[in-house]
Amino acid sequence: MDNDLTILLETTDRVIAEDIQVLLEDSQIYSLLASDNPASSVLSIYLGSNPIENVSIQVNKKDYQKAVEIISNSAYKDFLTTV
């Protein structure tokens, strides 16, 4: 089965990734945040600091172009060049 998700952008800042996710959801584009460090949320609870991680924002392939347009017209446009 073909994967319908594609990476929209990557960042090392989870807070920024979550802000972008909310921005996309406001336009009915739903996304998935994927971390290369699955234990990062647990570590941040116990250590009180944010561990280093790469977070990718994945969207459905059919929503990719619209998502790029939304981010291009926002304060997060510089993050699009990281993929």
Q: What are the helix and strand counts (H, E) for the chain?
A: 3, 3
The mean pLDDT of 58-70, rounded to a whole number, is 97
**Facing residues of 58 across strands?**
7, 32
pTM (2 d.p.): 0.79
Q: Mean pLDDT across the chain, nearest whole number?
A: 85
Lowest mean pLDDT, pick from 34-38, 52-56, 72-76: 34-38
Q: Are 80 and 9 in contact (CB under 8 A)?
A: yes
Question: What is the domain count for the chain?
Answer: 1
d(CA 12, CA 55): 6
d(CA 32, CA 55): 10
43 pLDDT exceeds 90?
Answer: no
Q: Which domain holds residue 18?
A: 5-82
Q: What is the pLDDT of residue 20?
A: 98
Q: In the block, which residue shows the tokens 């800042």?
A: 13
Q: Which tens digits make up the pLDDT trace of 14-41?
A: 889 999 999 999 999 999 999 887 666 5
- The CATH number of the domain holding residue 15 is 3.30.70
